[in-house]
A and B are shown apart, each in its own frame.
Chain A
Amino acid sequence: MTSTRPWWKTGLGVVFTALMLFPVYWMVNVSLTRTGDLRSDPPHWFPWEPTFEGYEAVFAQQFPALGTSLLVGLGCVVLTVLIAAPAGYAIALLNLRGRRTLNFLLLVAQMIPAVVMAMGFYAIYVRLGLLNTVGGLIVADSTIAVPFGVLLYTAFMSGIPRELLQAARVDGAGTWRTFVSIVLPVSRNSTVTVALFAFLWAWSDFIFASTLNRNGSLIPITLGIYNYIGNNTTQWNAIMATAVVASVPAAVLLVLAQRYVAAGVTAGAVKD
Chain B
Amino acid sequence: MTSLPTAVGTHESTSGAAGTTPAAPGGPRRRRGPSTSQWAAVGFAAPLLVYLVLFYAYPLWRNVDLSLHDYTIRAFVQGNAEFVGLDNFADVFASSTFPTAAWNTAVFTVVSIVFQFAIGLGLAVFFRSSFRLSGVLRALFLVPWLLPLIVSSSTWAWMLNSDNGIVNSVLGAFGVEQINWLTSPDTALLAVTIANIWLGIPFNLVILYSGLQNIPGDVYEAASLDGAGAWRQFRSITLPLLRPVSAITILLGLIYTLKVVDVIWIMTTGGPGDASTTFAVWSYREAFGTGQPDFSPAAAVGNILILVALVFGFLHLQLQRRQEAS
- Chain A interfacial positions (CB closer than 8 Å to B): 1, 5-7, 9-10, 12-14, 16-17, 20-21, 23-24, 26-27, 30, 38-39, 41-43, 82-84, 86-87, 89-92, 94-97, 99-100, 102-105, 107-124, 126-127, 139-140, 142-143, 146, 150-152, 154-156, 158-159, 166, 169, 175, 179, 189-190, 192-193, 200, 203-204, 206-207, 210-211, 214, 221-222, 225-226, 229, 236, 239-240, 243, 246-247, 250-251, 253-254, 258-272
Contacts and interface: CB of A to CB of B under 8 A. Distances in A.
B176 interface: no
Contacts, number: 365
A43 B166 contact: yes
A240 B324 CA distance: 46
A265 B144 CA distance: 13
Contact of A246 (B41, B60, B141, B151): B151
Given A111-B310, A250-B146, A102 B45 contact: yes
Contacts of A23: 144, 152, 155-156, 159, 198
A119 B123 contact: no
B48 A266 contact: no
Interface in B273-326: 280, 283-284, 287-288, 295, 298-299, 302-303, 305-306, 309-310, 312-313, 316-317, 323-324
A32 to B, nearest CB: 14
A115 B283 contact: yes
A77 to B, nearest CB: 15
Contacts of B114: none
In the A-B complex, the 9 residue pairs with the closest CB atoms: A120-B59, A159-B10, A204-B148, A94-B41, A87-B48, A263-B7, A90-B44, A250-B146, A116-B302
B213 to A, nearest CB: 8
Nearest to B298: A119
B95 interface: no
A6 B133 CA distance: 11
A123 B41 contact: no
A13 B150 contact: no
B174 interface: no
| B interface: dominant SS | helix
Interface stretch (B85-93, B232-240, B251-259): B251-259
B268 to A, nearest CB: 12
A103 B288 CA distance: 32
A211 B63 CA distance: 15
Given A116-B60, A120-B59, A236-B158, A271 B146 contact: no
A247 B151 contact: yes
Nearest to B59: A120
Given A43-B164, A115-B280, A264-B7, 12 more contacts: A14-B137, A24-B144, A39-B163, A94-B37, A94-B41, A95-B29, A109-B56, A124-B59, A159-B16, A193-B7, A243-B151, A266-B8
Contacts of A17: 137, 140-141
Contact of A260 (B3, B76, B164, B255): B3
A190 B203 CA distance: 19
Given A16-B123, A253-B146, A7 B309 contact: no
B41 to A, nearest CB: 4
Contacts of B145: 265
B44 A179 contact: yes
Nearest to A176: B40
**Dominant SS among interface residues on chain A:** helix
A7 B133 CA distance: 10
B317 A107 contact: yes
Among A21, A43, A189, find the residue whose CB has the most chain B CB atoms closer than 10 A: A43
Contacts of A203: 148
A221 B149 CA distance: 12
A41 B211 contact: no
B14 interface: yes
Nearest to A89: B44
Contacts of B258: 113
B155 A124 contact: no
Contacts of A154: 14, 17
A6 B313 contact: no
A23 to B, nearest CB: 5
Contact of A254 (B139, B149, B206): B139
A114 to B, nearest CB: 6
Given A13-B133, A207-B262, A41 B155 contact: no
B158 A97 contact: no
A260 B7 CA distance: 8
